[in-house]
Amino acid sequence: MKNSGKACLMIITLQFILAAGLTSVLALAPAAAVKAQLTSLPRGGNKRATVSEQIGLTDVIIHYSRPGVKKREGHIWGELIPVGFSELGYGLKKPAPWRAGANENTTIEFGTDVKVEGQDLPAGRYGFFVAYGPDECTLIFSKNSTSWGNFFYDPANDALRVKVRPVKTDRSVEWLKYEFADQTPSGATIQLQWEKLMIPFKVEVDVVKTQIASFRRELMGDRALPGSWQAWNQAAAYCAANKVNLEEGLLWADSSLSVTFGGNTSFTAWQTKAAILDSLGRKAEAADIMKKAIPFGNHIEIYVYGMSLLSARQPKEAMEVFKFNYGKFPNTLFTNIGMASGYSALGDYKTALTFAQKALPQAKGGNKIEIQKNIRDLENGKDMND
């Protein structure tokens, strides 16, 4: 009973001290109770937020807290957010820029090397700060991304500083936010928006470099196991289409064509290798490779290849391809129109007309309309390929 009475007295005492607003009550509480922190709303109602997007293949992730205007419009920029650097009187006690948000440090993470406002910034996670100015803002990417807010900002940790011009807006944004705008395959403008001001900065990536690096990484993993010639061909075809990394692309093409990976009977795989050889200036080798490819093609693949030869002003070579296609797949829409195109390119409009007329009942929709035009051209003594 005595112990029970003492417990009641202690509770009453604690309640009295709390009511009196005496923070020294913490000294009376057990250590475990002091350390226990339950989840609650962020301080000041400044909601935590994350926004992320890909620029090319590069992940860009921003973690921040969102302060509100809270009826302080007209008193944010230059007042609540001071101009330039300010003394905080805590932490390192050095002049510090704004933390570009509220509460914890705002961070921005780049999955690959990028350019910010045209300046190089390596891949990594950075503390993000803004030294505000009405005509010019200095954006700071700090190697220190873990300290609280801006109290421990140290210019010695700066990885990059860039200057941008702030933009006044007509629409007021109550809760600070970051948005990605003006997206292109290789870039985007990240906008910090709050109250009636926007602070934009452009981020760009080397799409080709990151894509090639991604191919190299994935081709060492489980996406390039035996039988998966398509993965090797995809990487090689990218090099061929963009005329980049051709020597390594040729190695990838050879891998796709190996018996191990299974592309040795694929028209597409052979065609990719031929395209790389052609870009390397090894045109005779490319032509020989396409001769190997043709027997593995379907009637549409072979037709398209024949038409590419016509576009390259090689009508005799194209005619050989069309004849092979017709012999393997006789009397189909694409083999008939291929023969018509080949004979027309050689000036034999009469024979070309015969094949075009055979193709007409096989065609539908837009193809039918195109072939009708081809027939009119041939009847009028004109090359249907023009």
How far from 53 is each of 60, 82, 186, 191, CA to CA, in Å? 6, 30, 12, 13
The answer as to CATH 1.25.40.10 being correct for domain 208-379 is yes
Average pLDDT score over residue span 250-257: 97
Residue 90 confidence class, pLDDT cut points 50, 70, 90 = confident
What single-letter DSSP state applies at residue 317? H
Residue 5 confidence class, pLDDT cut points 50, 70, 90 = very low
Least confident of 22-26, 45-49, 56-60, 211-215: 22-26
Give this prediction's pTM.
0.78
Q: Is pLDDT of 164 > 60?
A: yes
Percent of the chain with pLDDT over 70: 91
Looking at the DSSP assignment, which residues form a beta bridge with residue 142?
Answer: 127, 158
What single-letter DSSP state applies at residue 333? H
The predicted pLDDT at position 11 comes to 37
Distance CA 309, CA 270 (A): 16
Rg (CA), the chain: 34
Q: Which residue has the higher pLDDT, 190 or 88?
A: 190
Q: What is the pLDDT of residues 24-46, one digit of tens each?
A: 333 334 444 445 678 777 777 78
Q: What is the pLDDT of residues 228-253, one digit of tens each?
A: 999 999 999 999 999 999 999 999 99
Q: What is the pLDDT of residues 101-154, one digit of tens each?
A: 999 999 999 999 999 999 999 999 999 999 999 999 999 999 999 998 899 999
Distance CA 370, CA 374 (A): 6
Q: What is the pLDDT of residues 283-323, one digit of tens each?
A: 999 999 999 999 999 999 999 999 999 999 999 999 999 99
The predicted pLDDT at position 143 comes to 97
> What are the structural domain ranges in the chain?
2-35, 46-205, 208-379
Q: Is pLDDT of 333 > 80?
A: yes
131 contacts: CB under 8 Å, gap ≥ 6: 84, 85, 97, 98, 137, 138, 140
The SS3 assignment for 164 reads strand
The per-residue b/e assignment along 104-134, b for 16 or more CB within 10 angstroms, e otherwise, is bbbbbbbbbbbbbbeeebeebebbbbbbbee
How far from 237 is each of 18, 128, 269, 288, 300, CA to CA, in Å? 72, 39, 9, 18, 19
Q: Is pLDDT of 2 > 90?
A: no
Question: Strand locations in 94-237, DSSP E?
Answer: 107-110, 114-116, 119-121, 124-131, 137-142, 158-164, 167-184, 187-204
Contact 361, 379 (CB under 8 A): no
